[in-house]
Amino acid sequence: MPLLMRRAEVVFRLAAIADLQDIYRYIAESSQSHEVARHFIDRIMQRCRKIGDAPAGGRPRDDLMPGLRTVPFERTAVVAYRFTEKVEITNVFYGGRDYEALYRRGEAE
């Protein structure tokens, strides 16, 4: 009988929350719609919570930070996280930001 992996808890680090707030402000301003921005942030957060269903599913990025994994979101964002006993969303990068350079310079979580 196969072992079933239990769903992992998903938590957002302060840097990820700040990233989501920045993304919200940018989209609200550029679209002139708080509803559009809220809907986009809701979808990102829903995707982040789904990482808890398969935490080993992201792309390993140990070259940037030990234990770091990334998953794309709708071709417009990248979610970065680490998984130990729970999934920690470390950052959410939007709009083609060079997250690799940010990690290498120590400017990301």
Residue 93 lies in a domain: yes
Q: How many CA atoms lie within 13 A of 100 on its CB side?
A: 5
CB neighbour list of residue 26: distance below 8 Å, 6 or more residues apart: 94, 95
CATH number assigned to the domain comprising residue 73: 3.30.2310.20
Residue 83 lies in a domain: yes
> Does residue 63 have a pLDDT over 90?
yes
User: What is the reported pTM?
Assistant: 0.89
Residue 40 lies in a domain: yes
pLDDT, mean of residues 54-81: 95
> Does residue 18 have a pLDDT over 50?
yes
Residue 4 lies in a domain: no
Q: Which domain holds residue 32?
A: 10-104
Residue 2 lies in a domain: no
| Count of structural domains, the chain | 1
Q: Which phi and psi (to 5°) does residue 87 adopt? A: -85, 125
